[in-house]
Structure 1
Amino acid sequence: MGEKAAAKLQGKQRRRGLLDLEAQFTFFRSQHRHPVNAAAHALLTGPILFTGLLILHFLPLASPLDPALVFSLAYAAAYLAVDRRAGALAALLFLAGWAASRTLAARLGFELAWKLVLATQLFCWSWQFLGHGLFEKRGPAVSDLPDVFLMEPFLILLQILNKLFGYEPYPGFSKNVDKKLETDLRERRELKQRKVT
């Protein structure tokens, strides 16, 4: 695989549509192959989102809109756009997270809330980066952060639903993703071998 093939592989990864569920899920699975890294993401993405919602309740905005609610509704809308059934579950979870974070924000107040948010975010993000570095042996896809921030929570939910219940957004989804993942991994191996030689 020469430079043209490497550029083609990188271009293919960049052209992944934000709401192209097969491409997003393939990319997500390719970045989280090691079980420890996958478990860290599955366990720690929720607390990252929840504490993000928690701190949004304290933003001093002149607008009457609740930024945490706007954030939750935007995520819910994106997830409903890619898959109605799993998206509906994700939307309910987001709205429940919003309601719980609002209640906790009222109880804690800003002085305690920001400390909880800081500690949780530092712990969870550290483990996310360690999971990639120590177990995947490569850093997270920083160039894809906008996609990752929006889609990764849904992709984690989708993976859990798929593994535990065999859920597929449509028949053949898992087979299509597996084929794309095999092709992607083969191209990566060829690129890596080419760089070595």
Structure 2
Amino acid sequence: MFGLDLQEEICFYKKYHSNSVNVMIHITCVPMILFSYVVLCSYLELPSEWLTPVLGESSAIKKLQPYLNLGLLVSIVYSIFYIMLDWFGFLAAPILLGFSVGSKWLVMNKFEQDTYQVMWFLVVVNVFSWIAQFIGHGVYEGKKPALLDSLVQALLLAPYFVLFEIAFALGFRKDLEKDLNNKTARILSQERKQQQKSE
């Protein structure tokens, strides 16, 4: 787990997502889940006692403080992990950081009085998205989701997998797509052989 080898990490996730309908469900639902989690985390600001010794007490820092929240921290962790895996992480980082800053801006400027409704909306988005993904696995993929084998790995890799699938569909990184498809096919073939031996 987490050898920081892009092909190994993406193949771990890809072997659970080979059906095109299931992949489309994930391309739709994973960003909704991630965005909703970042919005929820944006409500949890980092304590000023942590920030003042590092950033100081200027008025500019105080204006930025609401944006320095758990959502930003989560986005930074994801971004660093993705950059360590591949240069494509530099594409993911602004998207993730935009999720964080954008969600906090929305919460502060558009939905400040509607916290209860926002929370309910996020719960509905999450429930819908998770159910859709489980249907994708059960009905279309015919196998269990990746998170049942490695929850943390699956949650970290899902957004990156989606980014790569979109890039592949747009014609980018076709050499990588071919390598990933071949490697995933070999892994699945080996797993089938092992399963047949154990039966």
Give the aligned partner of residue 122 of structure 2. 117
Letter of the aligned partner of 1:72 in structure 2?
A: S
Query: Residue 4 of structure 2: SS of its match in structure 1?
Result: coil
Query: What root-mean-square deviation, in Å, do the aligned CA atoms of Structure 1 and Structure 2 show?
Result: 1.9
Identity %: 27
1:166 aligns with 2:172: yes
Shift, 1:193, TM fit: 3.0
Q: Distance in 2 between the 1:143 and 1:178 partners? A: 20
Which among 148, 154, 161 is matched to residue 155 of structure 1? Answer: 161
Shift, 1:62, TM fit: 3.5
1:32 aligns with 2:17: yes
Q: Distance in 1 between the 2:98 and 2:2 partners? A: 28
Q: Distance in 2 between the 1:97 and 1:71 partners? A: 11
Q: What are the Cα deviations for residues 126-165 of structure 1, in whole angstroms up to 9, with x where unaligned?
A: 1111111111111112131111111220121012212312
Structure 2: stretches of 5+ with no match in the other structure: 52-67
Q: Distance in 2 between the 1:61 and 1:181 partners? A: 41
The number of residue pairs the alignment matches comes to: 177
Q: Distance in 2 between the 1:54 and 1:31 partners? A: 28
TM-score for both structures, normalised by structure 2:
0.80
Query: Residue 31 of structure 1: SS of its match in structure 2?
Result: coil
Shift, 1:34, TM fit: 0.9
Structure 1: stretches of 5+ with no match in the other structure: 1-15
- 1:55 touches 1:113 (CA, 8 Å); kept in 2? no
TM-score for both structures, normalised by structure 1:
0.81
Q: Distance in 1 between the 2:18 and 2:101 partners? A: 33
- 2:38 touches 2:103 (CA, 8 Å); kept in 1? yes
